[in-house]
Amino acid sequence: MINPGRYTTPQDEDLVVFIIGMRINKWHAITRWWPVLTAMPPMIRELLTNKDIGCLAAESFFGLRTTLMVQYWRSEKDLLAYARGEKHMKAWKNFYTKTARNNAVGIYHETYVVPKGNYESIYGNMPPFGLSRALGSQPVSHTLETAGQRLAGKQKQGGA
């Protein structure tokens, strides 16, 4: 469903932005990178169907060699608890014992803890995406016209 017009996200919540992905370094070594590629979908399914884990939303992007997923988490506590959980630890141990030392595939992640009021967004004629999928959206009002206004926390004063 496309939301017509311009929308932004409320800034009422702290959140964690987690970026994770992989890079295929050696195409010919499919037996080395395929297990890494196929380990992710079951975890993503679990995260997106079981909201009490703490993952609010995720967006995936695929390039020629590199995958990238942006995840929005309720808290760093939730993210770290999942990272220490059985499903993730099994995938990590499998990667590390079978793949990590041969450099056919690389993995990465970045974590950003973002306090409420320290992010902004704008969406024009878009379906729920990114932060708006994670936190919901509100129409852009006259007090939310610019990125500067949205970053200045005017959402609390000006509202929808």
> pLDDT for 16-53, tens place per residue?
999 999 999 999 999 888 988 888 899 999 999 999 99
Task: Give per-residue pLDDT as tens, 113-145.
Answer: 999 989 999 999 999 999 999 999 999 988 888
- Are 141 and 160 spatial neighbours (Cβ–Cβ below 8 Å)? yes
Q: How confident is the model at residue 66 (pLDDT cuts 50, 70, 90)?
A: very high
N-terminal to C-terminal alpha carbon distance within the chain: 20
Amino acid at 129: F
The helix/strand/coil state of 84 is: coil
Tell me the pTM. 0.89
- Are 16 and 111 spatial neighbours (Cβ–Cβ below 8 Å)? yes
- The answer to whether the Cα torsion of 143, 145, 148, 150 is positive or negative is positive
Task: Give per-residue pLDDT as tens, 81-110.
Answer: 999 998 888 888 877 777 767 889 999 999
Closest CA relative to residue 10, chosen from 115, 125, 119? 119
Residue 93 CB neighbours (<10 A):
10
Indicate whether 160 pLDDT > 50.
Answer: no
Q: What is the pLDDT of residue 87?
A: 84
Q: What is the pLDDT of residue 99?
A: 74
The helix/strand/coil state of 70 is: strand
Domains and CATH numbers, the chain: 15-114 (3.30.70.100)
